[in-house]
Structure 1
């Protein structure tokens, strides 16, 4: 795979767009409308000009969003309040996705096996469904168990009413999913304990990239 470093910013920014899992839909129009912050701030921009990160450098850091959804035990999960103790990885997708979602979760699992076990144990991984009609708490739990069974941290699966999920995506600053949740953001956000994401990953990044940047963020 060609290194991402030195790629034109316009090309790298494509990682912020929506992707139709397993399909050939063109998501550009939907992304232009959906990539927003609920506070009204302009979304952060991606700059691939080197620096310490292997992932996508967010020139203006994303702020950790505030939303409360339902976890796999059926309990309320306050994202901002519950994830402050260590690094946090946040991804929006759905369990029937045939490509981007399982690949991303597999890459996260690879990364957590590569980093210091203490860092892995401190890291929270949150998967928010974009398909609440099919992704019940039970379905999410079974799906995420495929990836985290041997890890020192359990992946968190969240669902909720459609309006809540829409708002969570807007609050996170990622494109809002369309087509029943099947066309969704490819962006995996990595927040530090300061509540900011200076780096993110898309489908072009690897588990090694995530491991490198996770260790870096955990050391800050």
Structure 2
């Protein structure tokens, strides 16, 4: 497994400065949000100061209110911000996690909370989110709601989100691509993954993350 330590303050500064429009055709490559050391091949960033779980109350795919802190308290939780119309990074990230999750024992699969928060709430209605996530992993919790609320919640994790906008005739959403893992022991966001994390990385790390251990 590939792990490194990273000062939380430096991480926050790096993460908030970098974001990418998924599927934009401006010639830029899809994002690595966290600054990495040159030549680093480490996927997991273990934070020396964990993030507090965002105080987000949004709407799930059933149209019901979902309090992120309350509903995931004491549960191993992965949180990712993205959108269903993203053609590249978002579906790849979610599928990588879904494939790795299936390698866990059934009880651990059921305990793990994977939360996908949309960065494009106008198009990602509860129904649209539910349909998209059903094809990836029906257990994933999809959340939508007010954009400003979502943006503020992401910012507490050092994740930058811009309002969706049209580029070359397509609506794109510029957003950070970090996956944050929250410990079931402390509810703190103590491990971060960039968009380069692979199925093998998640497969190796999830058995420890569900126990609140360092990967």
Q: What range describes the TM-score normalised by the shorter chain of this pair?
A: 0.7 to 0.9
1:89: how far off? 0.6
1:96: how far off? 0.3
Q: CA RMSD in A?
A: 3.2
**Take 1:68 and 1:60, find their aligned partners in 2: how far apart are those partners?**
24
Residue 104 of structure 1 pairs with residue 89 of structure 2: no
1:58: how far off? 2.1
More helix by share: 1
Match of 1:34 in 2: none
**TM-score of the superposed pair, with normalisation by structure 1:** 0.76
Query: What pairs up with 1:162-181 in 2 under 5 angstroms?
Result: 162-180=147-165
Given that residues 119 and 173 in structure 2 are in contact (C-alpha distance below 8 angstroms), is that contact kept between their aligned partners in structure 1?
yes
**Take 2:69 and 2:95, find their aligned partners in 1: how far apart are those partners?**
24
Given that residues 87 and 214 in structure 1 are in contact (C-alpha distance below 8 angstroms), is that contact kept between their aligned partners in structure 2?
no
Relative to 1, partners in 2 of residues 1:47 and 1:202: Cα closer, same or farther, differing over 3 Å?
Answer: closer
1:25: how far off? 7.4
**TM-score of the superposed pair, with normalisation by structure 2:** 0.77
Q: What is the DSSP-based 3-state SS (H/G/I as helix, E as strand, rest coil) of the residue aligned with 1:114? A: coil
Which 5+ residue runs of structure 1 have no aligned equivalent?
A: 32-44
Which 5+ residue runs of structure 2 have no aligned equivalent?
A: 166-171
- Number of residue pairs the alignment of both structures matches: 192
Given that residues 43 and 194 in structure 2 are in contact (C-alpha distance below 8 angstroms), is that contact kept between their aligned partners in structure 1?
no
**Take 1:114 and 1:15, find their aligned partners in 2: how far apart are those partners?**
32
